[in-house]
Amino acid sequence: MTVSVLPWTIVFLLLNLGAGLWRAWKGPTDGDRLLTTLLFATTSVAILLLMSAWLELPAIRYVALMLVLLATIISLAFFGMPARASKSGDQADD
């Protein structure tokens, strides 16, 4: 019984992702947009785990594992972004 519900739960989670897109589009700050990638990562992991049970492909679990393993890369790359855009930059060397 539960197995037959799996694709519909995936549909529901995908609808959640679509709603999350609205926040990324609206903003208003860069932090909000980064938050959307976090939502995408967590929800994608849930979707992938459900898919591995639905499609009976155990290897998809490793895809989910890799996604959570490397999910912080984007936040780490973003964290280095200057907080204020008018900060003076380094000079060209050429």
Partner 1 sequence: MSAPLAVDVLLGLILVGLAAQVAIGEHLFRAIVFYVAFGLSMSVIWARLGAPDLALADAAIGAGLTGALMMVAFRRLVEIDPKQAQAQGTRSSALAVLIGVLAAGMVATIGLTALTLEQQPGRAGLQVMETLGDTGLGNPITGVLLVFRGFDTLIEMTVLLTAFVGSRVMTTRSRFYVATIAGFQLPLVRTLVAVILPLAALIAMHLLWIGSDQPGGAFQAGSVLAGAGVLLLLTGTLLPASKSRALVRLALVAGVASLCVLVLAPMLRGQVAMAYLGRGSLLFAEALMMVSIATSLTLLFAGRPSLKVGRP
Partner 2 sequence: MTSAVFVLVAAAIFGLGVHGLLVSAHIMRKLLALNLMLSALFLLLIVVPATIDGRPDPVPQALVLTGIVIAVSTTAFALALMVRLFRKQGHASIHPDIDPRLLGRKAPSKANKTAQGDDR
Partner 3 sequence: MTDLLALVFLLSGCFFIFAGTVGMIRLPDVYCRLHAMTKADNLGLLLICLSLLLLDGRVRIALLLLLIWLLALLASTVSAHLIARHSRARQVNERDGG
Footprint on this chain of partner 2 (rule: CB under 8 A): 92-94
- The verdict on 3 binding partner 1 (CB under 8 A) reads no
How far is residue 92 CA from its own chain's centroid? 35
Taking the complex as a whole, the smallest distance from the CB of residue 91 to partner 2 amounts, in Å, to: 9
Q: How many whole angstroms separate alpha carbon 61 and alpha carbon 50?
A: 9
Q: Is 45 helix (H, G, I), strand (E, B) or coil?
A: helix
Whose CA is closest to 52, among 43, 62, 67?
Answer: 62
Which residues make up the interface to partner 3 (CB under 8 A)?
A: 1-3, 5-6, 9, 12-13, 16, 19-20, 22-23, 29-32, 34-36, 38-39, 41-43, 45-46, 49-50, 53, 58, 61, 64-65, 68-69, 71-72, 74-76, 78-79, 81, 83-84, 86
